Structure 1
C-alpha cells in the first residue's frame, strides 16, 4: 500500500472559481440579501429582480427547446468554432410558431456552445431524453441554504443535476476553458475536473442571468461520514467552533492534518492512477492560465 499524505508543502492546489466545487457545501445563511440573491419577508427568492419560480420555468422551457432542437440535427465532430457559438431564441409569453405560450415574463434564452456540450453529455453517458426528463419533467428544487456566494442553486428531482447561477466572469472563464476541457476529456477520461453539461443565459427585464448545469456528485442517497473542504492551504483553514457544533460539520485543511495525520492509504494502482489524473488536470489549468 501507499500512503497519500497531505501536508502544507505537498498539497495539490486548485483555484477554480466558486462555481467549480466538489459537491455542495451546505451552510446556514442568515442574510436576506446576498449579491444578486434576495429573499423577501414571505420567503420568496428573486435573482436580479426575477422571481425564482419564473427563472426555473424559463430554464426548463429554454433547455427543453434547445436540447430538443439539437437532437434533430445529425451528430458530427466538434470543431474549434463550436466552442464560441451562441444560439438565441425568444420566448414571448403569448407563444410563437417556435415556442409555447407560458405565464412568465417574456425572456430570451441563450445556449452557449450547444454542439460541444452535446458531445460532453454523450461522453459522460447522458442521453438527450434522460437530460430533458431530469431537468424539464418536474419542478426543480431550490436549495434554501446555498451558502455565501449569492447564487441560486437548484437540484433536479431525481438528484442527478445541479443548476447554479453564475457571474459573468465565471461564465467567461468556463467558455475560455472549453477547448482545453475538450482535449482533457479525450485524453484523460478519468478526469476529476467537474462535469459540465450545459451553459445557458436567461435574458429577462434587461438582465442577464447565466446558469451552468453540473453533475451532483453528493446526492442525498450517499451517506456522509466525514466532510472536509480542502483548499490546499493552511492559512485560517480550521473549522470554527460554531461549525464543529453542527451535526454534520465541514472540516478544513488543518483539521484534516490533525485528524488524519497518516493521510489516506491507497493501493499502488489506485495511487498511480490518481496522481496521473491530477497531473493531467493541473496541466489544463496551467495551459488556461498561460503558465509554462
Structure 2
C-alpha cells in the first residue's frame, strides 16, 4: 500500500459530477436498472476493493441531467481527494463526468447540508426540432409570451405549499417549499428557465415549467397562479414538462462548505 493511500484512510469525500441522464433510470439505485448512484457505487467498490455507499444531494428522475450533482462517500483508503477525480475519469462511463472532489468533515452530508438548489429547464423554440439539442431540451414551437410567463413565475416566488405543483404520488407530507427566484433568459431559439429554491418535490420544477408554458401559449392566465397554489390540487396546474429538458444546475452549501459548488459567474 502506498503512503498516499495509507494517509487518506477514513476520509469523507465530496464529489461533484455532471451526467447525461438519457441513459439512466434516475439517480437513485434500483435493482436491475442502470442508475447514477448504482454506477458510482459499483465503480468505487471495484476501484477500492471494499463496499462503498454513495449519498447524493438529491434524486433526479429518469432522463433528467445534472451539471452539478453532489455526492459524498466514506473511503477506508484510496487516493487523496484531489486525485480521486482523475482516477474516476478513467473508470466511469462517458456519460458521467467527475468535475472536482475535496475532503470534508464527517458532519457534511451531500443532501442534508444543502441550503439551496438551482434547476435549469431548457426550451427549444425553433420551428423544427434541433438534432443536436433534442436530448437536452423540450421542443416548444410557436409564440410564447415571456412577459406573461414572468408574471406567472413571480406568483410562485416565496414560501408556498406546492401540493398543486408536485406528483400526486409524492410521499412527503410537508409540501411547503421556498422558491427564491425564477428567471427566464433567451438566446436565439432557446429559452432557459432557472428555478432556485431551498428544496423541491417530485416533478415540481417540471410542473412549474409546464404551467409557465401553458401561460405563455395563452391557455392559462398568469393571475390565476395564486388560486392554483391555494387549491392544493395537482389537476389545477399545467402539464408535467418532459424530463430531458431538466438539469440540476447548481447546489449551494453553507459558507464553511464553500457555498455554491459551481461558480455562478460560469452560468450561461
In terms of fraction of residues, the more strand-rich structure is 2
- Shorter-chain TM-score range: under 0.3
> Taking structure 2 as the reference length, what is the TM-score of the superposition?
0.27
